[in-house]
Amino acid sequence: MQVFSPLSDQLFVPSSDFEREVLAFCKLWKSGQTSFLFHTSGSTGTPKPIWVSRDAMEASALSTDDWLQLKPNDVVLACLPVQYIAGAMLLVRALVLDLKVCLISPTVNPLEGLTPISIQLASFVPNQWHAILESGIDLSVFFSGTKGILLGGAALSDALKTRSMAYPFPIYETYGMTETVSHIAYRTISDLFFRTLGKVEIGLDERKCLKIKGLMTGNSWVQTNDIASIEDESRFEIKGRYDRVINSEGRKITFEGIEFLWLGGTNYLNIGSHPSFQKALKEGIEHYSQNFGSSRRNNLQFSIGEDFECALAAYFQVEAAAFCSSGLAAAQIAVQFAQ
């Protein structure tokens, strides 16, 4: 854990890749960089790289401030990868609003083992929030003075909503995407309608899909593929996806008209062509020799398997992950689950 002010000239010495990425982003921001590169998740169509302007990011931070009434030196918990807009915007809010940052490397449960600290703003994806509630941690030591626990990246399950209602903290489900520079609307756990922030405008196209315009979009309309109904000028309900994109706790799977992920053979997602994978594979063979393990269901099981699955779930922002000994096993599990 690192607690620091990103506006300070005296920052800590990083000890992990995540900490180095955070400090690098803060340095670029303080240097006056005017745009930052992110990748969309597919909410408005095919995933693609997108440059987000500094002005849009500042506008988003200020709209959150107007909503939650944050004050200088309030503590924001940063536990999401900065490569995603949600993680980067946690830092931008701290930089724009002079907040302190409690920095925790992205994990399934970022509160596990964390020294008690008063946190005024926290953002989690659903799998993290699920793991936190499952752990039984006393949340009051972190959130008794919180102004907002924001849950986004995917829709919350009914079970997770029900469990969340048992807590007295201000917990919000948010709606947004990379193109809108993170959230543009929120709702309490018990609400049906999302409520827009600030001067965000909403409308529907001929498909009844939501479109969004505001300072964070450069006052240009951003067209989504989310079918919605509009209750009034500031409230809307999401009904589903026009393009039938399945949002599985933060992962988009397009199966009709756009693209499919390659899940056959043994070169899953073309990982074998990735330079980092090739380098790690070469080093592993040279150090450990070769081994053809048939299954994790052996007499001896190593904890690294479970650790890897937790890390994988955190990276892809899903509730849980599993890796199998073969593609056949993975396919059988997928089919059994679907049935």
SS (HEC) of 209-251: EEEEECHHHCCCCEEEEEEEEEEECCEEEEEEECCCEEEECCE
Q: Which residues of the chain have pLDDT under 70?
A: 41-47, 244-273, 291-302
In this prediction, residue 224 carries a pLDDT of: 92
Nearest to 311, CA basis, from 109, 135, 113, 123: 109
- The answer as to whether 119 is a domain residue is yes
Residues 113 and 182 in one domain: yes
In this prediction, residue 259 carries a pLDDT of: 46
- The answer as to whether 206 is a domain residue is no
CA-CA distance, 326 to 255, in Å (whole number)? 23
CA neighbours closer than 13 Å in the CB half-sphere of residue 174: 25
CA-CA distance, 49 to 335, in Å (whole number)? 33
Q: How many domains is the chain partitioned into structurally? A: 2
Residues 66 and 179 in one domain: yes
Residues 259 and 162 in one domain: no
Take residue 261 and report the two structure tokens written for it. 């992920």
CA-CA distance, 247 to 241, in Å (whole number)? 9
Residues 72 and 140 in one domain: yes
- The answer as to whether 156 is a domain residue is yes
Residues 186 and 265 in one domain: no
Residues 156 and 13 in one domain: yes
Instruction: Give one DSSP letter per residue of 100-159, joined into a string.
Output: EEEE----S-TTTTPPP---SEEEE-HHHHHHHHHHT--THHHHTT-SEEEE-SSPPPHH
CA-CA distance, 310 to 222, in Å (whole number)? 34
Angle at the Cα of 81 from the Cα atoms of 19 and 166, rounded to 5 degrees: 115
In this prediction, residue 79 carries a pLDDT of: 94
In this prediction, residue 116 carries a pLDDT of: 95
In this prediction, residue 32 carries a pLDDT of: 96
Residues 151 and 270 in one domain: no
- The answer as to whether 203 is a domain residue is no
- The answer as to whether 43 is a domain residue is yes
In this prediction, residue 68 carries a pLDDT of: 96
Residues 295 and 165 in one domain: no
DSSP state of 188: E
CA-CA distance, 61 to 16, in Å (whole number)? 27
Residues 148 and 20 in one domain: yes
- The answer as to whether 113 is a domain residue is yes
- The answer as to whether 270 is a domain residue is yes
Cβ-contact 123, 80 below 8 angstroms: yes
pTM assigned to the model: 0.71
In this prediction, residue 255 carries a pLDDT of: 46
- Give me the domain span that covers residue 298: 251-338
Residues 21 and 161 in one domain: yes
CA-CA distance, 77 to 241, in Å (whole number)? 31
Residues 191 and 256 in one domain: no
CA-CA distance, 108 to 89, in Å (whole number)? 20
- The answer as to whether 304 is a domain residue is yes
Answer with the one of 168, 198, 228 that is the final residue of a domain.
198
Cβ-contact 20, 142 below 8 angstroms: no
Domain harbouring 92, CATH code: 3.40.50.12780
